[in-house]
Structure 1
Amino acid sequence: MSALDAERFHSLVLANIENPYPVYQRFRESAGLHRVLRPGSGREPEWLVMRYGDASTVLTGRGFGRGAAAAAGSSAPLSASLAGGCPTLGAFVDNWLVFMDPPRHTAVRAVVADCLAQRIQEGLAERARDIVGELVADLADNSRIELVGDYATVVPMLVILEALGVPRTDWTWMCGRTAALQQASTFRPGNRAQRLAAAEDAAHDFDEYFRRILSSRRRAPGNDLISALVAASWSDGEGADDLLVATCVHLLASGNETMRTALSKIVLLLLRHANLLDRLLDQPRLVPAAVDELIRFDSPAQMVTRWAYRDACVGGRDIHRGDKVTVVLGSANRDPASFPDPDVIRLDRRNRRHCGFGMGIHYCLGSALGRMETEIGVGAIVKLLPRLRIDGEQLVYGEDLIFHGPLELWLRRV
């Protein structure tokens, strides 16, 4: 693989966005790591990690973290890298678990994970089944369904609102604000300043909204996640409203996009693999295994970034402190060295340690909730799929190198 090809990696993926896996395969077979210098692009150089073993080294190694400033030896907060005029968005970023390193990450994650597990144990799965059952019943008589907007977006949003204890009637507003907030991603196309401005407006709206909710829960606690977070025993300096608001927004935004994409792509795969759909209809107990394998096969999140905190050797390449390292999860999950016949969907696959939910200390905090939502969502909608067909020949995927999935998925009754 020539240096020129390495510089074209991202453009090649975008040009083949519906199915980037042949592009990944070419790079993975050529070398485990590729250096992308990005001359004239205005973006920092980076390493592309293509193979599962190397991905595991980066994602589980303490020599890699989430902070570019920390990797460069600076104590500046992550928000310092944002353009000016984004104070609320910056406060969110500095308090999102996904961007924290130990020891703060360890302390905050332990409390949030405990509160989330408590909520799941208190009957959230039963409420999720009720929510999904209502949605499927409403869709059952429709002659056409837009699965992404009518189902895959609604399921995770309503379930996380139920968990947080937020009014269900606010879900449409939440979806709009969440979409605007996600424009802050550096991997999104379009004018960066305009996208940051939209994200800052959304962050301000969320900040006001959740501060009102926190105030309400302090006066009258309920049986919900926000009440549990307010009442939790935090270490010194944590548990303040800035962290609590940011945590609520993080759970809402990151979980919604991941699960929406996962549900959409799993349904698409089931419609394209009739034998698999028939198996799930005959043996519903296989749904959890199918969800796990399909997330490996076509991961909702395709890439994740780390920064080298010290010099390291990965895959025979010398990575220096301060280097940006992008782990291509979609490629690692198709590595034949770890997953035999990686391009085949196998429900009996022995190795289920894929990185569809990440790895290491940043393994998806909401993975248990996400699996529950996805398994319930797939198990319910699968009963409608024999009567549905994809309506249209061309699917449109978002121009997004991280979250990978169709923007719309129209289905019609037959």
Structure 2
Amino acid sequence: MSMREMRSKFFKTCLTAIIMVILFSGFALAQDDLAAANSVAIDTIWTLIAAFLVFFMQAGFAMVEAGFTRAKNAGNIIMKNMMDFASGSLVYWICGFAFMFGAGNGFIGQTGFFLHDTFANLGLDIPVAAFFIFQTVFAATAATIVSGAMAERTNFSGYLAYSVVISAFVYPVVGHWIWGGGWLANMGMVDFAGSTVVHSVGGWAALAGAIVLGPRIGKYNKDGSANALPGHNLLMAALGVFILWFGWFGFNPGSTVAGTDLSIASIAVTTNLAAAAGATLSMAVSWIKYGKADVSMTLNGALAGLVAITAGCASVGNFAAIIIGALAGIIVIYAVEFFDKLQIDDPVGAVSVHGVCGAFGTLAVGFLATDGGLLFGGGFDLLLTQIIGVVTVFIWAFGLGLILFKAIDAAIGLRVSEADEIEGLDFSEHGTHSYPDFMINAKADK
């Protein structure tokens, strides 16, 4: 072979190699781009599915509240739950999301009103719209919690005024403190899916509302003893609890906002174990205390376990989840009795389930978190931060709740008249009856 032929062959070989390298590199880059695109798609779909599950929890809250209260108020309860989400979605889009996640200071976000911003400060891989809808359903949950404690005697227009304010300002500010890069986030507070951010905010505001409203007619006697005002449909309440339990698999695992984060499986396990332990211990303790296994206490025990584990579902192990759920299932019974002794009328136990057990679950992280928990060698730092967070949020939500409800009461009236309360809010507030056959039969009996 001549020198010229050898050079030609060498150049051809080099050229082929270069082309192969270029093609292979392009293929590898294309594969990387495809993998990245698929990851974003999976995370986005997961976040949206989780949002839809949490939205379905609105039905659960409505069923629990309606089932635990009397038939003459069922339509009013459905309206409150419906409008919590409808009006809350609008004001959270206008300003709530900006206050919560916009760039700002340690107290409040100051950018992104009407969702007009890139929200680059969040460092999201998924579209902002997906994250927004997920956070919207959380905001609606916080507002809906209040409805149960104020059931059967609240002026509908007064309630709507409050619901708008909690979705627009009260809840988003706390959310900014803990989830939006605010001062509690900088301290290292752990509240993964909202035992405090969502549930305690709703629970403490509900406490303020129940205090300002006063008890329902006939709930308490002059000697301080309480009368039972039974709900009209335990089956409806139980269905609501099952819906909420189901929706919580979007609430807690969904807070990863990443379907490619395989911790969603362990979070689902801790969530379920805590709920199961809460229901079991509530049943057992009510059986011992009252001589019968109480249905409503058992249902609330499951919710208490779910609320309590929400803060630490991603940072505690399975045994710790059972302990948290079990203790919450016990605590909720004594909390309900405690508020009854204070003559604070809470028809569905919302303050006990969401306020008290939300605070307990947040504090439990300081003891039981595998990374930083006191019982796992982490010292007191995390526990102290959790205490500061719980106390501060109580002062904020309860304090603003009292101010707000007092203002609404003075401006437009918060409580319906005695005659309207006795007749039922379905007719006095909405001009209808949820169960018209009941009314027909009642008139026929007369």
TM over 0.5: no
* TM score, norm. by length of structure 2: 0.28
Of the two, which has the highest radius of gyration? 2
The structure carrying a bigger helix percent of its residues is 2
Q: Larger RCO: Structure 1 or Structure 2 (Cα < 8 Å, ≥ 6 residues apart)?
A: 1
